Every structure is written in structure tokens, then in C-alpha cells.
A and B are shown apart, each in its own frame.
Chain A
Amino acid sequence: MSAPSVVVVGAGVLGARVTRELLGFNSDGTPAVDRLTLVGRRPARLAELSGPNGTPVRMIEADEPPADVLGEADVVVIARAAGDQLSVATRAVSAGAHVVATSDDLEECRSLLKLSSVAISAARSVAVGVAMAPGLSCLLARHATALFDGVDEIHVARVGAGGPSCARQRRRALRGTGVEYRDGEWLERPGFSGRELVWFPDPIGGADCYRAALADPVLIVDAVFGLRRASARMAASRVDRGTFWMPMFIGPPAEGAPGAVRVEVRGQRNGERHDVVYGVFDRPAVAGAATAAVAALAAARGDLPHGAHGLAAVENPVVMLRELARRGVRAATFVGSREFGIDEPSEEQQHP
């Protein structure tokens, strides 16, 4: 199959990194994409990015991506601010392109999932919530389900934010209403409630996590059948607790601070209860961009299911996780330690 033509909409921290990821090469040394277009709203930002990316990237300054640009794309990656992606996704699917939407806004993800019937009739894939969390978190959850005969519970936690838009969305999520899935019902809980100490991969370590308006449970329940419980929490500090209702006066570092995601999956195997924990430590913008780029290439290959789903619906997550590892985004699994009297997981608990 020839390399795809990809359009990236949004030239912020995430969009620039997705572009950089797509300019790379496949594992066999062939170019990942045939043609790459970056659509942005700020001319100064596009000029800034045209230097390091060089000529292979076509830069288009526009408020909305032109119809002819969407029409010639195999895949459209939307890296705009969360809450501003639905209209582009709708136009892109109608134009016949696969869509990778990076939004982590709960309501927008729900709306994007409703594009499923349109996408199925067009035989296209709309990958919803494709960043670090949701996105990589959904992929890890899907990978972990292969270790079980039946999965009961999936709990996601995240720490950190990507660029300034992501940091603002994080604040909005903490102010919003969190959703949890419990025995077939969706429960609504206020943001910043349900404090839980969660341990992330080193060097992040332990962090207090709270409920927030996060999309992970919605995307996971949509794809993993037989679940009884699903939840998501976000790390926040005491300063966040005092200031989360205020607008952001000081943004995050330009490329975001280090972050992490942790996915805990519980279920049965051979009639016994088991618990598997996966995690990733990376800058959220870096891991999110790599996940979006890998998902875009998977969509072009036809590896994503038709319709609108999160990455928890991917049939073979191993291919994507291997490609992410090749690009430097490496997942880890929590193991016990003999020092503390807990044995390493037996071979039976590892992937067959």
C-alpha cells in the first residue's frame, strides 16, 4: 500500500509534534506519509514551524480547513483545542477521510462517538480521544484485557498536561462533573471529589488524584464489553484545589511538564481474580502526538474499526504499542518486589 496523504488541523504544541512524528519513517525505512499538510490559524506560528519541518510540509493558513484539502486527504488529524474539533471531524468524514480527533473534552468525545453511523456508511474510521489520556490509556486498557477471561473493572489515572490549551482543558475538567460507570449505570460525581493516592511510573511516583470530567470511561465502556466499573481520575495539587475555579494566569511550560498515565484492569483468569497495572511516563504532548500519529497511520492501513470509537476498540493493540515503543513512548507494567514480600507475576500472568 502506498503512503497516505495526511492533513493535520491545528498548529499548537500537539499539532506541531504530530507533524514531526508523521515526517518520520516506518520501521522498514520508507516514508510514513506521502503528503503532509498543516492547517493553522496563526501565520506567525506556521512561519515558525516551516523552518524546522522544511519543505515537505504544505502550510495552509485558514480558520477552517478548505474543502478541497479535506477531500484529498486519506486521514485528517485534528489537534485543535478540545471543544473545537467536532465540526472539522464531521466535515472530514463527509469528505471521505479517516479522522483522528485528539479531544479529551467529555461532551465533545460523546458527540464524536455519535458520528459512528456516518463513518460506518462511509467505511471510514473516526478515532476519538487520541492523545495520552484518553488515547494511550485506552490502548493500554485494550492490551490488558487480553490477559483476562473476563474484565470487570478498568480505572484510569493521569497526571500532567500538554500545551496551554491542554492545561486550560485540565482546569475545565476539574471544574466539571466526572462520570463513572457502575453496574450498567452512569453516575455523575462533582469534579475534585473522591481523592485517591495513585502511584505512577517513576519518577512521578505517588500523586493525589480526583474525579474530573474525563472522557476515558465513556470511550472504554463503548469498546470493552462486560465491564461492571470504569472510572478516571486526574492528579491535582493542593494549589489546584485552591485555584481551580479561577482562570489560568500562569500557563504550563511551552512543551508541557512531565506527565504519566496509569491503567488498572481487574478481572478473572482461570476462575481467579487478577489485577494488571500498566503505565507510561512521558511528556503528555510527546506521548499524545506519537499516539495520534501512530493511530493516523493505522487508520490509513485499515487497522482501525470502521465507525467512531476510542483506541480501546482496536483489534490488535500490540502493533500500535510496538510502533509507539519504537518512537520512544514505552509502556511499563507494575510488578511486585521480593523486597516487600510480593512475588513477580507468574508466566501465566504475562501475555501468552
Chain B
Amino acid sequence: MRAVRRAVLAVCFGLAGAVILRLAGGTATVPEQGGWRELAGTDLR
């Protein structure tokens, strides 16, 4: 009985941890290769 209770508790903690990590996790970053240039000159003619 005790072992079952421990197993259930472990599963609950695992699920709660996964939810917290999912909410707190950062953006999946892949560096963008390049930059931005303001539209000017021939772009706006």
C-alpha cells in the first residue's frame, strides 16, 4: 500500500514539474542569420 502511495506521489510530482518547466521554459532559440535594414531611398520610390 505504502509503495503504491509513493508511486502515485512520484507521478504527481513529475507531472507538476513538467508543467512548471513548460511554463517557465525559454524560447527555443535558433539564431537568425542576418539583420534588418531600414526601408529608404529606392525602397520607397
Contacts and interface: CB of A to CB of B under 8 A. Distances in A.
Interface string B1-37: 0000000000000000000001111011110111111
A325 B39 contact: yes
A321 B39 contact: yes
Given A197-B27, A238-B22, A321 B36 contact: no
Contacts of A318: 44-45
Given A197-B27, A241-B22, A334-B34, 10 more contacts: A197-B29, A206-B29, A241-B23, A325-B40, A332-B37, A335-B36, A337-B33, A342-B34, A350-B42, A351-B42
A340 interface: yes
Interface of B: 22-25, 27-30, 32-40, 42-45
Interface residues of A, number: 31
Nearest to A347: B42
Contacts of A241: 22-23
A201 B38 CA distance: 10
Given A208-B27, A331-B38, A333-B39, A325 B33 contact: no
Contacts of A327: none
A325 B45 CA distance: 13
A210 B24 CA distance: 17
Contact of A279 (B28, B36, B42): B36
Interface string A309-352: 00000000010011001000011111111001110000000111
Given A207-B27, A239-B23, A242-B23, A337 B35 contact: yes
Contact of A201 (B27, B33, B36, B42): B36
Contact of B34 (A239, A321, A340, A350): A340
Contact of A351 (B28, B30, B35, B43): B43
A323 B37 CA distance: 18
A334 B39 CA distance: 10
A202 interface: yes
Interface string A102-146: 000000000000000000000000000000000000000000000
* A contact patch SS: mixed
Given A332-B37, A350-B42, A238 B29 contact: no
A278 interface: yes
Contacts of A352: 42
11 contacts: A206-B32, A207-B27, A208-B27, A238-B23, A238-B24, A330-B38, A332-B37, A337-B33, A337-B34, A342-B34, A351-B45
B35 A335 contact: yes
A340 B33 contact: yes
B32 A278 contact: no
Contacts of B36: 201-202, 279, 332-335
A320 B3 CA distance: 71
Nearest to B29: A206
B45 to A, nearest CB: 7
Contacts of A242: 23
Contacts of B45: 318, 351
B33 A331 contact: no
Nearest to A336: B34
Nearest to B32: A199
Nearest to B43: A351
A202 B32 CA distance: 11
| Nearest 4 Cβ contacts at the A-B interface | A340-B33, A332-B36, A199-B32, A336-B34
A290 to B, nearest CB: 15
Nearest to B25: A238
Given A201-B36, A242-B23, A333 B30 contact: no
Contacts of B32: 199, 206
